[in-house]
A and B are shown apart, each in its own frame.
Chain A
Amino acid sequence: MRILGISAFYHDSAAALVEDGRIVAAAQEERFTRRKHDPRFPAAAARYCLEAAGCGLEGIDHVAFYEKPFLKFERLLETYFALAPKGFGSFRRAMPLWIKDKLFQKSMLRDAVRQLPGGGRWNGSLLFTEHHQSHAASAFFPSPFDSAAVLTMDGVGEWCTTSLGHGEGNRLEIIKEIHFPHSLGLLYSAFTYYTGFKVNSGEYKLMGLAPYGEPRFAQAIFDNLIDLRADGSFQLDQRYFDYAAGLTMTSPAFDALFGGPPRRPEQQLTQREMDLAASIQAVTEEVVLRLARHARSVTGERALCLAGGVALNCVANGKLHRAGIFDDIWVQPAAGDAGGALGAALAGWYQFGGQPRRVAGGDAMQGAYLGPHYAEADIVARLAAAGARFDCLEPDLVTATTADALAEGKAVGWMQGRMEFGPRALGNRSILGDPRSPTMQRLLNLKVKYRESFRPFAPSVLREDVADWFEFDDDSPYMLMVGDVVAQRRHGMTEDQQALFGIDKLNVARSEIPAVTHIDYSARIQTVHRETNPRYWALLSSFKQRTGCPLLVNTSFNVRGEPIVATPEDAFGCFMGTEIERLVIGNCILRKEAQDPALAHDYKARFDLD
C-alpha cells in the first residue's frame, strides 16, 4: 500500500511517500520552485515522490493531508465571533482567502492531485489528519522506540498548539492538548516579531541571538505574559498580544511592558534585543522542561519524541537532554510543518490502516536523506550544459582532494547523494569549512552566506569523536541538540575581550574550534554516522587524518533568503554567485579560478532577505 502525504496552503509545503510503512521519499516544495517557504500545493515535490516510488498517482492508495480545514475554519469563526467587533480588520482580509480558496481545500486538493502524473486514473481516497496528530505521528512512528511519550509544540494547527501523547507499537494516543490562543510557538514568534525578525523564519535567529544577552526580562514575562503551571500547561494573557484578532503579533501593552515599539527589520541590533532573546529563550526552556517532566510522569515512559516548530529549538532540546528527565530523546528532523506531510502519510499507514509497526535498530528516517539525487552521468551533463569547468575523479581522490582544500582554509560547496528532508543541511547539500580557522565564521557569514554576522555555525563531527570535543556523548544526527565545547578545548577571554559589545565577542576565538563555538561555548552538534552517510563520514575522517580535527563547519548550501540548493545547476549558480572556492558534486570537482569569469553574477540580490 502506498500513501502520499501532503502539507500545503500555509507555509513550507511538502510531499512524502510511504510504501508498506517504509518512507520512500520526502521533499519540500521550496527546493524545486526556488521560492522560500513556498505554501502552494507541492506539485513538484509530489511528482518527485512518485518518481522515487516508480509509479504514477494510480499506484497511490491514499493521499493524506496534514490538517483538517473545517476544524481550522471553526477556530477562525469562533475566534472572530468571540472577539467581535475587534477583529474586523483581520476578518476583512481573511474571509476572502477562505471564501475563495481555503474553505474548499478538499476539492482544491482533489483537483491538484488529479493533475499529477496518472491522476486521471486515480481512484484512491483522500484522508485528513489533524495538524498535531500529523506532528505526533512524524515524531513517534519513525522513532527508534517501541513506546514513548510524544510532545508536539508549535504555533497553532486547527485548535491545538501543544499536545502530549503516548505512542506504543502502532498506536498513538493524544492525552492532553493546549488550545489556541495559548501557544508557546506564538509566544516565541511574538518576540521574533518584536525584535524585528520575520515571523515563521526568524525564530532561529532569535535563538542564535540569545547567548549575547541576559534574561533580565524573563521574570516580567512570567509575571505578565504567561501563567505557567507546575505541569507545564499555560495560558497567555491576551491583552499583550494582537495575533488572535489583529494584524500584528503584539499589542501596545506589550510595547509598554518592554519599554518601546518593535525593532524595525534591518535596524541596528542593540543589547535590549539580545536580552529579550535571552529572556524568551529562558522562558521557553522552562516551559519545555515542565512539559517534559509532566509527560514522563503521566506516561511513565523513558523515551521522548518531539515534533512541531518549537522542537527545532535545539538549545531547548539540549537543555532537555542534559536535564535527564528522559533516558532517550528523538526529534523529528522535519519538525516543522513540512514534516506534517510525512506524519500524515505514516498516520494513514499505522492509525488508519492499522498496520503493525516493528522497530529495527535505529530510526526509520534514513538519515533524513529522502530527497532527489543525481547519477554521475546526469551531473556531468548538467554541469557541462551550464558552462562549468570541472574534473571527475575517483571517489577516494574526491574525498582526499576536498579534505586538502578544507585544510587549506577554503570554503567548499558539497553536494552528494539524496537531498535532506527538513530545514537542516546534513552533509549532502552543505557548505563546509575548517572549524579551527579564526576567520572562517566571518568569511562564511559575510562573503558566502551574506547573512547577519552574529549567527554562529554548526559543526559536523564524527560520532565516535563527539565526546572528545563536546560535553555530549549521544547521537545527534539531525543537528537538533546543543552541547558545550569541553573545558580543555576552551579559550578564556581577557578583561578587554570581556568588555566588548555582545556581537563583537563572537570575533574572539573561544575555543580550538572558534568557527563553531558560540559565545557561551555552545555548539549545535551534528554527529555523522558511517551507516547513514558513509561519504561525509569518509570526508570527516580524511580531514581528521590531515589535521587531527574530526569536525567541519557545516552550513546549508544557499545564501540568505534562498532555499537550499537541490540540483547541480542550483549548486553551480550559488557557487558562481558567492565566494565559495571549491564545489564538489558527486565525483566532479570545480575550482573557482578555473571557471569562466563571465558566468559570475550578483547572486544575493535574487532572493528576498528572510
Chain B
Amino acid sequence: MDFASELLLFMKTRRKLWLLPVFTLLFVFGALVVLTQGTVIAPFIYSIF
C-alpha cells in the first residue's frame, strides 16, 4: 500500500495523473508478460533502463 500511495502522490505532485490509466494498462500488460515467461533477461541496451 505504501508503494501505491507513494506512486499516486508522485503522479499528483508531478501533475501527471493522466499517466494513471497508462500505468494501470501497462502494469497489467507487463504483469502478463512477467507471468508468461520464466526468466528475466536484461536486454543489451543503454538508454531505457
B47 near A156 (CB under 8 angstroms)? yes
Partner of A99, one of B7, B27, B41, B45: B27
In the complex, what distance in Å separates the CA atom of A92 from the CA atom of B32?
10
B19 near A77 (CB under 8 angstroms)? yes
Q: Which of A58-66, A102-110, A550-558 lies at the interface with chain B?
A: A102-110
Q: Give the residues from 62 to 81 in chain A that come closer than 8 angstroms, CB to CB, to chain B.
A: 70-72, 74, 76-81
B47 near A95 (CB under 8 angstroms)? no
Interface string of B9-36 (1 = CB under 8 A from A): 0100010100100110011011101100
Partner of B45, one of A77, A81, A248: A248
In the complex, what distance in Å separates the CA atom of A161 from the CA atom of B31?
30
Partner of A94, one of B22, B31, B44, B49: B49
In the complex, what distance in Å separates the CA atom of A91 from the CA atom of B48?
9
B3 near A81 (CB under 8 angstroms)? no
In the complex, what distance in Å separates the CA atom of A107 from the CA atom of B4?
12
> A81 and B22 in contact (CB under 8 A), knowing A96-B40, A107-B3?
yes
Partner of B47, one of A71, A77, A100, A180: A180
Q: Give the residues from 276 to 297 in chain A that come closer than 8 angstroms, CB to CB, to chain B.
A: none
Chain A CB count within 10 A is highest, among B6, B16, B30, for B30
In the complex, what distance in Å separates the CA atom of A199 from the CA atom of B34?
27
In the complex, what distance in Å separates the CA atom of A247 from the CA atom of B47?
9
B30 near A95 (CB under 8 angstroms)? yes
Chain A CB count within 10 A is highest, among B14, B34, B37, for B34
A397 within 8 A of B: no
Partner of A102, one of B6, B45, B49: B49
> A76 and B46 in contact (CB under 8 A), knowing A99-B31, A104-B3?
no
In the complex, what distance in Å separates the CA atom of A186 from the CA atom of B48?
11
How many B residues face the partner with a CB closer than 8 A? 28
Provide the residues of chain A in CB contact with B40, threshold 8 Å: 96-97, 100
Question: Which of under 10, 10 to 19, 20 to 34, or 35 or more describes the interface residues of A?
Answer: 35 or more
Residue of chain B at shortest CB distance from A243: B47
A90 near B45 (CB under 8 angstroms)? yes
B10 near A70 (CB under 8 angstroms)? yes
In the complex, what distance in Å separates the CA atom of A248 from the CA atom of B40?
18
Provide the residues of chain B in CB contact with A93, threshold 8 Å: 41-43
In the complex, what distance in Å separates the CA atom of A103 from the CA atom of B43?
17
Residue of chain A at shortest CB distance from B34: A96
A321 to chain B, nearest CB (A): 28
B14 near A74 (CB under 8 angstroms)? yes
Provide the residues of chain B in CB contact with A165, threshold 8 Å: none
Residue of chain A at shortest CB distance from B23: A77
In the complex, what distance in Å separates the CA atom of A103 from the CA atom of B6?
11
In the complex, what distance in Å separates the CA atom of A72 from the CA atom of B46?
14
Residue of chain B at shortest CB distance from A89: B43
B26 near A97 (CB under 8 angstroms)? no
Q: What are 23 A-B residue pairs whose CB atoms fall within 8 Å in the complex?
A: A10-B49, A70-B7, A71-B10, A76-B48, A78-B19, A90-B45, A92-B33, A93-B42, A94-B43, A95-B26, A95-B34, A96-B33, A96-B37, A97-B49, A98-B30, A99-B34, A104-B3, A155-B46, A156-B47, A180-B47, A186-B46, A243-B45, A248-B45
Residues on B close to A: CB < 8 A? 2-3, 6-7, 10, 14, 16, 19, 22-23, 26-27, 29-31, 33-34, 37, 40-49
Residues on A close to B: CB < 8 A? 10, 70-72, 74, 76-81, 90-100, 102-104, 106-107, 155-156, 180-181, 183, 186, 189, 199-200, 243-244, 246-249
Closest 5 CB pairs of A and B: A95-B30, A243-B47, A93-B43, A70-B10, A96-B34
